[in-house]
Structure 1
Amino acid sequence: MINIFELNHSLKDSAALAQSEDGLLFVDRETVIEKIPGLAGKCLEDMQALVDYLDGVFPDDVDYYMVFDGKKPTLDLEYNDGPMAMCGQSLPFETNEEFYECLDSLEWDHVRSASIHNTGVFDQMLDHADGQRVNLTPVATVRKRTKTFSRELQKTCKKSPHAYGCLFLNKLGHYDSKPVSKYYDVEYREFLERFAEDLMHLPLLGAICVEGKLVPNERAEQIRREALATLPPISRALAEGRLPVEPQEREAI
């Protein structure tokens, strides 16, 4: 079997890590090994052999995520629990032998039951959120406080290739709070996904600019609803203000 520590060490000065984000190489069930930029030769062969082995060990409802950084590899498990989406846990190992011993000793029913137990708190949060109304400040309300910045947003979008621009306010009750502008030069679907992620910690939306034009408040509200619909349940409940969390606390979650 492949020595994952030797494989990780061989990647230390490789093009695969140099070309990856943050100098890390992420590998999971969906990774096409031969398409990893900079991965070649024996490293590619060993990585493929490792993934083939893991694919044979893991059941379909449990995913794995390996991270290689040239120093110490890690492996996380994620079990799909429906409403919570995923619950993860790390595999503890310090040597190559321990890595394979841990995999051999895994009891998948125990992994599933432990994951379900750990997601109990999230299920309670979802139960609470389901009974709450959406608590979002209307775009029109925020826009009144950000008129000057909305015009600047529009000017920037007209002068740049950005297809979409959004203006957020950090704190509604603070007039000296400087708005945050975000720009997205992507297709509409990807824009919605990125916009939704920003709404997680910037819930006060003041304006949306599409192809250099500020959209009416009603259209901005519609786009926000479309974006929120792309989030998983817990994230959506948080972004919609249906969880007992103050807006300023959202970024820390």
Structure 2
Amino acid sequence: MNIFELNSSLAGSLVLDRDEFGQLVLERYSNPEGISGLSVEQTVVARRILDRIGELVPDDVDFSLRLDGVEPVFSLSYDDGNAGVFPGSIPFETDEELYQRLLERDWDDFRSSMLGGTNLFDEMLEIAKKRPSRIPSTKTLRRFCKEQIKDFRAQARREKLPYHFMMIFEEDDGPDFTFCEGPKNREEFLVDLSERMQQRWFLVAVCIDGRAIATKDVERIKLEALELLPPISRAQAEGRWPYDLMPDSLEGF
């Protein structure tokens, strides 16, 4: 079984269903043996693929293989300790083609080009620091979704989960709303929330054990979540990151 066959074998599996984005992500230090739902054969193949890629990619370069049951995506990333650079995915049609591309890659040249990108990020971060946050206030957001908030609170009262939260995302054709079931403890809830905020989802309402909390407490939770993010991620979450200055080579960042 190769990468493509492994990917196809995962279509419709619980392994993908359990992931928010419907993917199984294999990285350098992933442990296929600990992934619930993989068959013995899938586990053996995943381990073999990871070991082979690990032999070809230097230890200071990160990689990920994303399997969604449709098309596998392989990408590299490099972190110099200050900022990570993600140069995009590497197209391939066979395992052998991917392995050959990695074998022939000039890793010193790769590092140099990525370090140039991290220096650029430092400059962009300085620009971002001077820009104000563009996260709308909770009060402002609630003007656009009064009915959705009623539905959200009714659902939260019925289910009485430790954490329930409602978020809004501004699409080209209008706002998109989502009701989220948060983890059971506050720390994990804040981590989950911070990751969603980095994707420019805005927090509108929170219910704890089925009870809605006050607007000022929602604002405080937003701040707590933001403080968990590193500088670049926080700038992205707050709408301060200068995407307009990104070169085409880094547009996937």
Compute the TM-score of the two structures, normalised by the length of structure 1.
0.72
Structure 2 unaligned segments of length 5 or more: list them: 244-252
Q: Which residue of 2 aligns with 1:32?
A: 31
Q: Name the CA distance, whole Å, in 1 between partners of 2:70 and 2:140.
A: 51
For the pair shown, the structure with the greater C-alpha radius of gyration is 1
Mapped pair 1:19 → 2:14? yes
Of 185-194 and 146-155, more deviation after overlay is shown by 146-155
Task: Report the secondary structure of 2:74's partner residue.
Answer: strand
Instruction: State the partner residue of 1:235.
Output: 233
Report Cα offsets for 1:20-46 as digits up to 9, x if no partner: 3277543211221223323314x5434
Name 2:89's counterpart in structure 1. Answer: 90
- The separation in 1 between residues aligned to 2:233 and 2:59, in whole angstroms, is 25
Q: Do the aligned partners of residues 52 and 181 (structure 1) sit closer, same or farther apart at CA in structure 2, a change above 3 Å counting?
A: closer
Name the aligned partner's letter for residue 218 of structure 2. A
- Tell me if structure 2 keeps the 8 A contact 1:12–1:71: yes
Q: Match for residue 250 of structure 2?
A: none
Q: Which runs of 5+ in 1 are unaligned?
A: 1-5, 172-176, 246-252
2:189 matches 1:191: yes
Equivalents in 2 of 1:150, 1:44: separation in Å? 44
Q: Deviations over 1:1-28 (max 9, x none)?
A: xxxxx52354366468733327754321
Instruction: Report the equivalent of 1:221.
Output: 219
CA distance in 2, matches of 1:113, 1:225: 36
Cα shift at 1:128: 0.9
Partner of 1:174: none
When residues 70 and 15 of structure 1 are mapped into structure 2, their CA distance, relative to the original with a 3 A threshold, is: closer
- Quickly say closer, same or farther: Cα 1:202–1:11, change in 2 above 3 A: closer
Alpha-carbon offset, residue 129 of structure 1 = 1.0
Q: Following the alignment from structure 2 to structure 1, what is the Cα–Cα distance between the partners of residues 72 and 180?
A: 35
Partner of 1:249: none
CA distance in 2, matches of 1:152, 1:95: 48
Contact 1:87 1:118 in 2 (8 A): no
Aligned to 1:159: 158
User: How many angstroms does 1:121 deviate by?
Assistant: 4.8
The alignment covers a number of residue pairs equal to: 236
Q: Distance in 1 between matches of 2:92 and 2:175?
A: 47
Correspondence 1:103-142 to 2 at 5 A = 103-119=102-118, 121-142=120-141
1:105-132: CA deviation from partner (whole Å, max 9, x where unpaired): 2232211112223445543432211122
